[in-house]
Amino acid sequence: MTLFLQLAFLLSIILLSAKMAGYLSIRLGQPSVLGELMVGIILGPSIINVLNLPFIEHELTETVAKLGELGVLLLMFLAGLELHLGEMRKNLRVAAFAGLMGVFWPVLLGWGAGLLFGLDQPAAIFLGLTLGATSVSISAQTLIELKALRTRVGLSLLGAAVFDDILIILLLSVFLALQGGAGGASDVLLIIVRMVLFLLTSVALGLWVLPWVIRRFAKLPISQGLLTVSLVIMLTYGIAAEYFGGMAAITGAFLAGLMLARTHEKERIETGMHALAYGLFVPIFFVNIGLSIDLREFQLQALLFTIVIILVAVIGKWVGSGWGARLGGLSRHESIQLGAGMISRGEVGLIVASVGMKDNLVTAEEFSAIVVMVLVTTLITPPILRTLFSPKEDTIMKKTDNVEQPVESSTPNEDAKESEAS
């Protein structure tokens, strides 16, 4: 079998398995990413070990990984493209406090847990950064089902996730830059200057140049010209972020999406990029994460480490974001709800973990523990939210909460009343 046929075989298996597992996961009331991760674990060295079949060349492993990295860039681009900053301005104070505290406490506790288990300083810091990430997509979907996304809690949650993502991406970029060899104060200052210059240049281009470029390509009588130029912009921003700005490529992709979100062609760009990402590259990324995990190598100490990491991830994010939301002005009940909505790590946690794996900041064992943490936090978030937003729980909490509830209710019961009244 030729190398091309081997690759075609692998991609066929990965894509078909990913979509079938994703569908099954959705039918079970869970996000599709969980199914894709699980099928990756099944296909990986834990069970089938498809990459080590006798007729598969070893070099194809790297090819699959590189295709997955393109999936990461597309995910971050879409994350930037889907942001609705205008909607979240009304709850800016809450979002800022919840986002900042939701990063500070998990990072700090994760750092401490890493040192407690004997990790060196860089690995421990990176573990903290991994725990600081959040993915609000699972929570947002749950709140949509509960008719609570457009409430004060829902909008604050979206805003907090934006602050969280931006802060984690910037911290990760600074950390990776420092790990790249910077030591003295002058080196650190140079890194900061490079980052600031890159950000300013990128924003300036995004405000005044990119809209014109997008308009011109949108009018050209060529097949998928708009999609092509959007891809080029995403890749260029990613390259520039890493090469000139000293930041992670995902930062550039995220920023590119953020800039193109302001254009009139946003919907067309999103449609094309979404099809390309979720039809090919993103499933490969998630499955490849699972392919990197070998559960057979898990030892007792690793199990204990995983349990501690899960506890730190849940408590740190729930308490941190909830406390921040309370400082921002939400009631106790609303703060608990928002904190719970920030627990899920989802694809963002996996993206950060994969960066650490690529740069040898975490061992295979630590990486597996992080992936298990992502799986667990993503699994438990929907049922926790459904419990907290249930009419019964809401009544109990209101009776014990001395803070007056705001007009915008965050319960599905009250949302339903509003709908009936209208």
Residue 106 in contact with residue 129, Cβ under 8 Å? Answer: no
**Is the sign of the CA dihedral 208, 210, 213, 214 positive or negative?**
negative
Residues in the chain: 422
* CATH classification code of 65-284+313-421: 1.20.1530.20
Residue 127 in contact with residue 114, Cβ under 8 Å? Answer: yes
Residue 343 in contact with residue 319, Cβ under 8 Å? Answer: no
Find, among 381, 350, 310, 373, the residue nearest to 168 by Cα.
Answer: 350
- Going residue by residue through the chain, which has 422 residues, state the pLDDT in tens, using 9 for 90 and above: 899 999 999 999 999 999 999 899 888 877 787 888 889 989 988 888 888 888 888 888 889 989 988 988 998 888 788 766 666 567 789 989 999 999 999 999 999 999 999 999 999 999 999 999 887 666 776 786 677 877 888 888 878 887 887 788 788 878 887 776 555 566 667 777 888 899 899 999 999 999 999 999 999 998 899 999 999 999 999 999 888 887 778 888 888 998 999 899 999 999 999 999 999 998 998 898 888 877 777 676 788 999 999 999 999 999 999 999 999 999 999 999 999 999 988 777 888 888 888 888 888 888 888 888 988 888 788 889 888 987 655 544 444 454 444 444 444 444 444 444 43
CA-to-CA distance for 179 and 173, rounded, in angstroms?
10
Domain extent listing, the chain: 65-284+313-421
Whole-model pTM over 0.85 = no
Q: What is the pLDDT of residues 24-48, one digit of tens each?
A: 988 887 778 788 888 998 998 888 8
Compute how many other C-beta atoms are within 10 angstroms of the C-beta atom of residue 93: 15
Q: What is the pLDDT of residues 167-216, one digit of tens each?
A: 887 888 788 877 765 555 666 677 778 888 998 999 999 999 999 999 99
Determine the 3-state secondary structure of 264 from DSSP.
coil
pLDDT of residue 280: 93
